[in-house]
Amino acid sequence: MTTEDMAQEQSLYRQILGRRWDDVPASIRALHGRPEGHATFRGRAVIERGGSIGARLVASILGFPRAGADVPVEIHFACGKGLEVWTRRFGGKVLRSSQQGAKRRNEELLAEDFGPFRVLCALEPRENRLHLSVRAWSFLGLPLPLLFAPGGRTFEEDRDGLFHFHVEVESPLTGLIVRYRGWLRPAGEPTDDL
């Protein structure tokens, strides 16, 4: 079996993290651990939207969900051959992206595509969290200035064995565009007791 074959038998996040995979808490490994197939996770989220005209316009164009205090969330993963397609449902709103590995300056990164935009992120395990830090971005393959990249605190964490997420998308031009945070568990487990 070649090294490439062995890598394809590992999940995308495990390939990117390499030896650091074992530093990631179990609830995060459970969500990102499958190399092939489908999985669904469900939970709840709080969603905030930025108030500026620019932030509202960008959020609408990119299809981010509306603000809400106790929004049902479902994420379906389709994984195979180093690619993951994420279909996120926030209430009735659907947000899709695809993820794959990328290399930049000898750093293993996560590339996430939202329509014509690609964002490259470093995966950084620290304590009980997995941080995602933007390293570069592009539009239709054309590099864009990092200064204007969508940023904000984005991390996944384990709280008492339960997967939690915190995603912020903001820009120096618009301020906060969207922030969503909440929890997820495998679809077969009850979600109404938290």
CA distance from start to end of the chain: 44
pLDDT, tens digit, for every residue of 18-51? 999 999 999 999 999 988 999 999 999 999 999 9
| Burial call 17-44: b when 16+ CB within 10 Å, e when fewer | beeebeebbebbbbbbbbbeeebebbbb
* Residue 108 bridge partners (DSSP): 103
Burial 164-176 (b: 16+ CB within 10 A, else e): bbbbbbbbeebeb
CA 187 vs. chain centroid, Å, equals 18
Cα separation, 156 vs 159, in Å, equals: 10
Tell me the whole-structure pTM to 2 decimals.
Answer: 0.88
Largest pairwise CA distance in the chain: 54
Tens-place pLDDT, residues 146-169 = 998 888 999 999 999 999 999 999
pLDDT tens figures, 109-119? 999 999 899 99
Alpha carbons 8 and 20: distance in angstroms, whole number:
17
